Amino acid sequence: MRPIWKGSISFGLVYIPVAVYPATREEKLSFRQLRSTDLSPIKYKKVAEADAKEVAADQIVKGFEYERGRYVVLKDEDFEKVRIESTHSIDITDFVEVEQIDPKFFYKPYFLEAQKGGEKAYAVLHKALSGTGKIGIAKVVISNREHLAAVKPDGLFLILELMHFASEILSAEILKNGSAAAVTDKELKMAQALIEGMSVPWEPEKYQDEYRTALLEIIEQKAKNKQIAGKPAPAPAPTNVVDLVKVLQESLSRTQSIKQKRSSTRSNGRSTAALVKQKRRTAA
pLDDT > 90: percent of the chain: 49
> Who contacts 27 (Cβ-Cβ below 8 Å, separation ≥6)?
209, 212
3-state helix, strand, coil in the chain (%, to 5): 40, 25, 35
User: Could you give the number of structural domains in the chain?
Assistant: 1
Find out whether 150 and 160 touch, Cβ atoms under 8 Å. yes
Does residue 58 carry a pLDDT above 70?
A: yes
Does residue 267 carry a pLDDT above 70?
A: no
Residue 192: CB atoms within 10 Å? 11
Residue ranges making up the domain that contains 14: 5-26+85-167
Measure Cα distances from 222 to 102, 214, 216, 230, 233 in Å. Answer: 45, 12, 10, 13, 21
pLDDT in tens, 135-146: 999 999 887 788
Residue 135 has a pLDDT of: 97
Average pLDDT over residues 74-101: 84
106 phi, psi to nearest 5 deg: -85, 140
Determine, yes or no, domain membership for 124: yes
Determine, yes or no, domain membership for 274: no
Determine, yes or no, domain membership for 252: no
Find out whether 161 and 108 touch, Cβ atoms under 8 Å. yes
Q: Which of 40, 150, 146, 56 lies closest to 95 in space, CA to CA?
A: 150
Question: Out of 50-59, 106-115, 148-157, 212-221, which region has the weakest mean confidence (pLDDT)?
Answer: 212-221
> Who contacts 61 (Cβ-Cβ below 8 Å, separation ≥6)?
73, 74, 75
Q: What is the CATH number of the domain that holds 144?
A: 2.40.290.10
Determine, yes or no, domain membership for 99: yes
Determine, yes or no, domain membership for 50: no
Determine, yes or no, domain membership for 35: no
pLDDT in tens, 233-261: 666 666 555 677 788 888 888 888 887 77
Determine, yes or no, domain membership for 145: yes
Q: For the chain, what is the mean pLDDT?
A: 85
Q: Per-residue confidence at 284, pLDDT binned at 50, 70, 90?
A: very low
Determine, yes or no, domain membership for 107: yes
pTM above 0.85, yes or no: no
Find out whether 148 and 162 touch, Cβ atoms under 8 Å. yes
